[in-house]
Structure 1
Amino acid sequence: MVEILVLYYSQRGSVHALAQQLARGIESMDGATARLRTVPKVSPVCAASAPEIPAVGAPYVEAADLAECVGLALGSPTRFGNMAAPMKYFWDSTAAQWSAGTLTGKPACVFTSTASAHGGQESTLLSMMLPLLHHGMLLLGLPYAEEALSRTRSGGTPYGASHVAGSEGDPTLTDDERQLAFAQGRRLAAIAMKLGS
């Protein structure tokens, strides 16, 4: 059984909903399982720290999660066209894994959610790809062979799965968003398994 790490940060539930769909796609492949992990919020008070285990949701990511996974799906909400600070803060702490080549050669994909259709989805997805490229990962997008990519009127880009939450932050995925996230997770698992054989 191979494990794919689904690492995400979600404040209002939309990225969490996408992460669950990617995990379903991963686990639709025989021999693959998803390991869901998150990152803690960044505190504006320097001395503050988060509890070691979150009260709800996925456990916090650890260095072992990066080492033990055969692939990675990375998700974050959009913050001014960039990944959220907690996710950036996590990647800024991975110099030891970068130096050791922990993620080198492993496949990865990215996903996001925004409040509006033109809220920076693609630039956020691209910003999340940068640390993965520095880690030597192999980036996967969503091909237009996925029919939902051509018909979607909500989220979904060739750079990765996405969701348009609206100004109220509705985490309910559309059928196309759900289908694309599932397909992205399935594709990531299939390629990770091929690379591992």
Structure 2
Amino acid sequence: MRFLRGPARFMLKLLGWKLIDLPQRPAKAVVIAYPHTSNWDFPVTLLALAALPYGAQWVAKDTLFRGPLGPVMRALGGVAVNRRERTGFVERVAEEFRRRDNFHLIIATEGTRRLQAGWKSGFYRIAMAAGVPVIMAVVDYGKREVGLLSTIALTGDEAADMARIAACYEGRTGYHPENASPIRLL
């Protein structure tokens, strides 16, 4: 995928996007993507992944993996999750983190592009169970920036951890800012 780095960087620049990255990434991390308010987040994120280059995998609802798109989604790094019922996803992913030397999994914390009362807690539970840090990622349409903002180690104090995450996302806007959910766990 390294051969895509140059073309992806060129395309982002042509589209007016600034690519941001961390000085150093941890070997393993849960990467949270916020705000997620538009279908445009996906292609911009794929360009950023190629431009960095960043071999992260990402989570999406299982219905996107059905039919002929399934193999394409998996080849792009997609991991299907059934959001309609409990399947042990958190435990399976935590185990995957323990088995691998390098693993980054991107999760859209809101779980949808529509306004919600807060964030789904799966990312938090996975990071705590696996003992890995959280990287904050953004597609910021206001500043036209895409990439990785910061890394934090969760403490287990949900209120304090969420306050630190909220501070990192302060002033960041999605394509439809009115659909960005409040930064708090449901």
TM-score surpassing 0.5?
no
Query: Normalising to structure 1: TM-score of the pair?
Result: 0.36
